[in-house]
Amino acid sequence: MRRPLKSLSRLPRWQKQLIIMTSDLVVMVFILHFLMAARLLSLDYHLPFQSQLIIYSLSFVFLTLSGLYQEILRSFNEHLFKSVLLGLFLLSLVMFSINSMLLNIPRSVPLPYVFLLFIWIGFSRIMARFMLRHRQIILTPTKNILIYGAGAAGTALFNSLKNHPYKRVVGFVEDDPLLMGGRIAGVKVYSSGELPRVIPKHQVEKVLLALPSITRSQRREIIEKLEPLMVKVQSVPPIEELVNGHLKISDVQEVDIMDLLGRDPVPPIPHFLKANIEQKVVMVTGAGGSIGSELCRQIIKLNPKLLILLELSEYALYAIEQELKAAAPDLGIIPSLGSVLHQAKLEQLMRNYQVNTVYHAAAYKHVPLVEVNPFVGLMNNSVGTYRCAKAAQHSGVDTFVLISTDKAVRPTNVMGASKRIAELACQALAAQPDCKTQFSLVRFGNVLGSSGSVVPLFRKQIAEGQPITVTHPDVTRYFMTIPEAAQLVIQAGAMGKGGDVFLLDMGEPVKIVDLAKRMIFLSGLTPREPGSEHGDIEIVFSGLRSGEKLYEELLLDDANGERTEHSLIVRAVEKQYSLEEVETLLQLITTNASDLHGLDEILTQLEHYVDGYHRSQVFSQPEQLIANCPQSA
């Protein structure tokens, strides 16, 4: 069976057409003689060769005019059926009109001839298309698939998969009792409770979630059912992305990691979103970074008067400027290449464009890198924030929002300590009696898809069959999506009264090793525990990196948090220092920015001002540190 199919599939198109037309001619001859014998109730009849030739020629002419022999078999569809039916109807009319003059066949023959010929054409093309569609199933291995969801998205996905040579849908899965046990296009609908039996029985390799409109919590429950069943899980995009009503194979994507970790998103409060942005001049520092760029994407939807992008990386600035201009061609966008350490330039920008709101997202945030580059981290994150905040204050900016991090709470690394000093600087400026700028600080944990996120790394390691590297079995982190974090930052900034610390509710913390295992399971593989020979993907514990914590916190004191109007935003009251003390510390950092010998004094001051900070072991090996740091302009 395999060899003939393979040989046929490799023939040139004209040879395939010749085979089809020959088979049609054979069937025409058979039908005509069968009808003549049936009409005369005898095999002893005479049908002139001239009459036969005319009938067969007319049949081919009308079938060719209908487009039958031009159409590719695999695309044989309802439209072509109609054309063929019309062509055969015209053929019957012509046969009736010329019968008495040229054909001399019984009048009861033309209609049955046309009818039987139509049946043959339909049957033969459907069978040929079936053989073509299943040729790859016979010749090559296919993947058996279950579609979870028998609604509109599931049906559209099934129709898209029907013509795919390597994928075969063996069933639908539904939780709706009205659909369980039924069939869709001949494919059975199973209940979710039957999955442990159905998956091994049909050797299912992949489950496609065609449930674009369900909530994240509902999706998470379904994924938890599928995790132990050793199948790869993918999903179709959210319903708002399927606006055209069509669904293609390319629309299927990896399961959103927030379906494993997060809660249902809370709708934003519109007046908080618009308060600091609508018809105002907005500036974003670090505009090309993961958080800064998403802030820009959210801001352009809220009708600002002007958007100023400040970014140190030339390429990152170019990329985000081009993206925003394409998304909002009528909005004025000012790209500014520069550092937050350049206070004079910042003041010039803010004054020239009369900036109303600043979102300060510029920061070095990679913990191990900042740990061996402490001066650069402290200068950019601490001194840079102070200078940016001072520039905003001097320029009459209404609102200044600092994007902080959970690593600023009892930090064990320079990065976290530098962000805590940045918080203290903004709080100290806000506490000045003559301060007219409203300073707010927004603190949150890891965002999925940011430059430091583990998720893309894990996906890459799984795809390549490499071991997944986790620092420690107990390391735990909070997670949130970048769009949700950016939206909450904008809303929190509008709630500030001056020097407020806002915390974003990140949900429950997640063990990184559990996240890794779930990603392995959802790829249809099994994790291999340390010391075990069983499993597909090994999990390797590399040890905590310098300055890294097992657990992250959002509050210095859990008793100091109070809820706001938004259910996911908490206002905290925390310890502050005077502006003179903070400025003395920042001056110490600036003065010693290129002197390794001054590092000990800086770290001693950090341990004094930043609650919970203790220098890491890396500082006992000065040769690992890099002293060079850009000086102020």
3-state secondary structure string, 75-110? Answer: HCCHHHHHHHHHHHHHHHHHHHHHHHHHHCCCCCCH
Instruction: Identify the domain boundary among 117, 135, 153.
Output: 135
Distance CA 283, CA 248 (A): 39
For residue 263, tell me if it sits in a domain: no
Structure tokens at 499: 């020097």
For residue 274, tell me if it sits in a domain: yes
Q: Please tell me whether residues 497 and 613 are part of one structural domain.
A: yes
Structure tokens at 243: 């606006």
**CA-to-CA dists, residue 482 to 16, 292, 422, 445, angstroms:** 55, 10, 22, 11
Whether residue 84 is predicted with pLDDT greater than 50 in this model: the reply is yes
For residue 110, tell me if it sits in a domain: yes
Q: Please tell me whether residues 116 and 147 are part of one structural domain.
A: no
Whether residue 72 is predicted with pLDDT greater than 90 in this model: the reply is no
Rama region for 218: left / alpha / beta (φ>0; ψ in -120 to 50; rest): alpha
Residue 344: burial class (beta carbons within 10 Å; 0-12, 13-18, 19+): exposed
| CA dihedral of residues 94, 96, 97, 98 (deg, nearest 10) | 80
Q: Please tell me whether residues 423 and 570 are part of one structural domain.
A: yes
State how beta strands 253-254 and 476-477 pair: unpaired
Distance CA 572, CA 100 (A): 100
Distance CA 86, CA 99 (A): 20
CATH number of the domain bearing residue 210: 3.40.50.720
The closest of 325, 315, 153, 167 to 240, measured between CA atoms, is: 153
Q: Please tell me whether residues 223 and 247 are part of one structural domain.
A: yes
How high is the pLDDT of residue 139? 47
For residue 517, tell me if it sits in a domain: no
Distance CA 309, CA 331 (A): 13
For residue 209, tell me if it sits in a domain: yes
Q: Please tell me whether residues 571 and 504 are part of one structural domain.
A: yes
Structure tokens at 356: 């109303």
For residue 243, tell me if it sits in a domain: yes
Q: Select the highest-mean-pLDDT range: 89-98, 550-559, 595-604.
A: 89-98
Residue 304 structural domain: 270-453+477-510+554-620
Instruction: Identify the domain boundary among 116, 135, 154.
Output: 135
For residue 590, tell me if it sits in a domain: yes
The closest of 417, 420, 436, 280 to 359, measured between CA atoms, is: 280
Structure tokens at 218: 């509902």
Residue type, 444: F
H or E segment and range at residue 144: strand 143-148
Distance CA 470, CA 475 (A): 8
Question: In the chain, what percentage of residues exceed pLDDT 90?
Answer: 25
How high is the pLDDT of residue 623? 56
Q: Please tell me whether residues 16 and 52 are part of one structural domain.
A: yes
Judged by average pLDDT, the poorest of 160-174, 268-282, 619-633 is 619-633
Q: Select the highest-mean-pLDDT range: 95-109, 236-250, 427-441.
A: 427-441
More confident residue, 457 or 386: 386
Residue type, 514: D
Q: Please tell me whether residues 47 and 31 are part of one structural domain.
A: yes
Distance CA 515, CA 527 (A): 11
Instruction: Identify the domain boundary among 206, 226, 256.
Output: 256
For residue 461, tell me if it sits in a domain: no
